Amino acid sequence: MKVIVVKNYEEASQKACEIMLDIVKSNPQANLGLATGSTPVRMYELMREDHKKNGTSYKDIKTFNLDEYFGLDQSHPQSYHYFMCHNLFNELDINMENVHVPKGQGNIDEECESYNKLLKENPIDIQLLGIGSNGHIGFNEPGTPFDSVTHKVDLKQSTIEDNARLFFDGKIEDVPTQAVSMGIANIMAAKKVLLIACGEGKAKAVYGMAEAPKTIDLPASALQDHLDCILIADEAAASLLKNK
């Protein structure tokens, strides 16, 4: 695992954007694995700015998102499909037929099977990740087997309550109780993995991911076995690392 320590979130975003753009420019038909959440927002903004300024094209790029709430239509403002359009796709020249986010409606088991098939047919060139304070990646919470593939996730009550407070105006009844997520084996199958971690709240997870023994109790620790994994951490998130 290559560890890059930067000063702050802005520098982490700039470095991550540089790595992502290198893939896009060197392979205009690349398959990008993308993530949602607050961590990649600035990186996506920089990608939009680069497209506008330098004309970097995404017309033949395919994208595959990590996860999606189950029970939300793609147009719902809290869906991850909506998030990706709002934060990235709407200002790129990408063909929306090449954009893949797990479907949040229909038969959840069939969607998991369909997404696994899609990922097998389209090997990911670079998979972007954030990390939860408990070491989760995607919706793969502690205890998720390392050999898991795209699967149904029953959201924990604490997650539902947090999401109600943060994203659903406190209306717990509006929060989906399930999600579809790439499994850890899907993530490990990517040719390159790029994980961004910022803030003191991520320090224990970053240490566990990079330097503590591998364990399913900290899902991101599986990445210790990846042949091309880059961790970009700001000084606060990297504060517990011994080898940096």
The model's pLDDT over 2-60, given as tens digits with 9 standing for 90+, comes to: 999 999 999 999 999 999 999 999 999 999 999 998 999 999 999 999 999 999 999 99
Report whether 134 contacts 205 (CB < 8 A).
yes
Q: What is the pLDDT of residues 58-72, one digit of tens each?
A: 999 999 999 999 999
In this prediction, residue 162 carries a pLDDT of 76
109 class by beta-carbon count within 10 Å (0-12 exposed, 13-18 middle, 19+ buried): exposed
Q: What is the mean pLDDT of the chain?
A: 95
In this prediction, residue 157 carries a pLDDT of 83
Q: What is the pLDDT of residues 215-236, one digit of tens each?
A: 999 999 999 999 999 999 999 9
Q: Which residues of 137-174 are buried (b: 16+ CB within 10 A; e: fewer)?
A: bbbbbeebebebbbbebebeeebbeebbeeebeeeeee
Report whether 219 contacts 159 (CB < 8 A).
no
Catalytic positions: 67, 134, 136, 141
